[in-house]
Amino acid sequence: MLITGDGESRMTTPRGMTVGEALVAGLRARGVDRVFGIPGVHTIALYRGLAGSGIHHVTPRHEQGAGFMADGYARATGRPGVAFVITGPGLTNILTPMAQARGDSIPMLVVSSTLARRDLGRGRGALHELPDQRATLATVAVDTQTLFDPANLAEALDRAWAAAQRGRRIWTCLSMCSVCPADPCRPPARFPLPLRPQTAHCARRRHGWGRHDGPSFWQAGAQDGPKHR
């Protein structure tokens, strides 16, 4: 997921919720209790949303560390690991753990900033500008989205979260333009959409279990050709 925002202003709705706060609340509603990342000028409004959210933030020395921490969290808990990074160097630094997680089917979500729409693709030397951030992400992330309109946050988060847990679990990335995290936004739904098991997969499992009268035991070990007995 890509997020845009200059990190300076903090506009609020009558409910007092910004896009950054709504995103954090949406993650919390989905059971996220820990995120990994390094704050920067582009993500200040996003980090303001963490205050009082109940989500613990872990700050590494390098964004690559944030990615591998999120990877380890996902492996240990079975839930998607979440990382926050800035546009440009923050994003390129996390590409290596993203590629590793994709290769191992580890469910993770990267939330990053990107430039304001008026600066995208212009080559005017905006802070941390990449020629094409979404194309860079597409080399390792299975699903990428860029959020420009606060009204689309709930749908974007639902899609990203579902993609991270469906079938061959994957890395997804949601980016927000640099002005978006501080924009006003409606509060997210109280509960996330429920996960639905894949029908074909369940049918295969039921068929396999029906052929056994008792418990089964699977064992795997190293083998050295005919010497192994």
Q: What are phi and psi of 68, to 5 degrees?
A: -70, -30
For the stretch 174-217, pLDDT in tens is 555 444 444 444 555 444 444 555 666 666 666 655 555 544 44
Residue with token string 């597409």: 138
**Amino acid identity, residue 220?**
A
Residue range 36-65: mean pLDDT, rounded: 90
Residue with token string 């923050």: 90
pLDDT for the residue numbered 115:
64
- Here the CATH number for the domain that contains residue 141 is 3.40.50.970
Q: Is residue 132 part of a domain?
A: yes
Q: Is residue 133 part of a domain?
A: yes
Domain of residue 94 covers 2-214
The total number of structural domains that make up the chain: 1
**Amino acid identity, residue 41?**
V
Whether 37 shows a pLDDT value over 50: the answer reads yes
Q: Is residue 226 part of a domain?
A: no
Q: Is residue 225 part of a domain?
A: no
Residue range 105-117: mean pLDDT, rounded: 80
Q: Is residue 141 part of a domain?
A: yes
> To the nearest whole number, what is the mean pLDDT of the chain?
72
Beta-strand pair 108-114/81-85: parallel
Q: Is residue 228 part of a domain?
A: no
Q: Is residue 224 part of a domain?
A: no
Residues in CB range of 190: below 8 A, 6 or more apart: 29
Q: Is residue 97 part of a domain?
A: yes
